[in-house]
Amino acid sequence: MDLATHAFQLSGIVTILALVLYIVMFMRVGSARSKYNIEAPAVTGDPNFERVYRVQMNTLEQLPIFFAGLWLATIYFKWLGWLPAAIGLLWVIGRYMYMQGYIAAAGKRSTGFLISGISALVLLIMALAGIVMAWSVS
């Protein structure tokens, strides 16, 4: 197996982990609706429900940035093929920490938010560096 195939497989696994985490998040919203008696389409009411809902929505807002960065870095950043997946895994861990912290108390979300935010930024920088390098070689 060549290194490019290996990099794609690793990033594929990270993509699946991110999607599984997102599924957990929206299932928690459904459960919280029932627990806190928030009927759809309402998204406000009990602050405990609102935190669960914001975790899911904030992650939904972040997913396009993360997926674009992960896959562009996987395609174009070829020097360390495993690195985009490793940074992607950090994003997933950061989002999990964000979820756990924010659901406990709004003030506990910062560490997870920072880890996932920096990870996404690093992926975008890696993608840009890879594209620039590929462009300059051709």
Cβ–Cβ under 8 Å, residues 75 and 11? no
Ordered domains of the chain (ranges, CATH)? 3-137 (1.20.120.550)
Rounded CA-CA distance 97/115 in Å is 9
Q: What angle is formed at CA 119 by the lines to CA 71 and CA 52, rounded to 5 degrees?
A: 100
User: CA 50 to CA 105: how far, in whole Å?
Assistant: 11
Per-residue confidence (pLDDT) for residue 137, from 0 to 100: 83
pLDDT tens for each residue of the chain, 138 residues long: 666 789 999 999 999 999 999 999 999 999 999 999 999 999 999 999 999 999 999 999 999 999 999 999 999 998 899 999 999 999 999 999 999 999 999 999 999 999 999 999 999 999 999 999 999 987
Q: Under a CB-based contact definition with an 8 Å cutoff, are residues 77 and 83 in contact?
A: yes
**Is the bond into 84 cis (omega within 30 degrees of 0)?**
no
| Nearest one of 62, 79, 76 to 121, comparing CA atoms | 62
**With contact defined as beta carbons under 8 Å apart, do 116 and 91 qualify?**
yes
What is the number of residues in the chain?
Answer: 138
What single-letter amino acid sits at 53?
Y
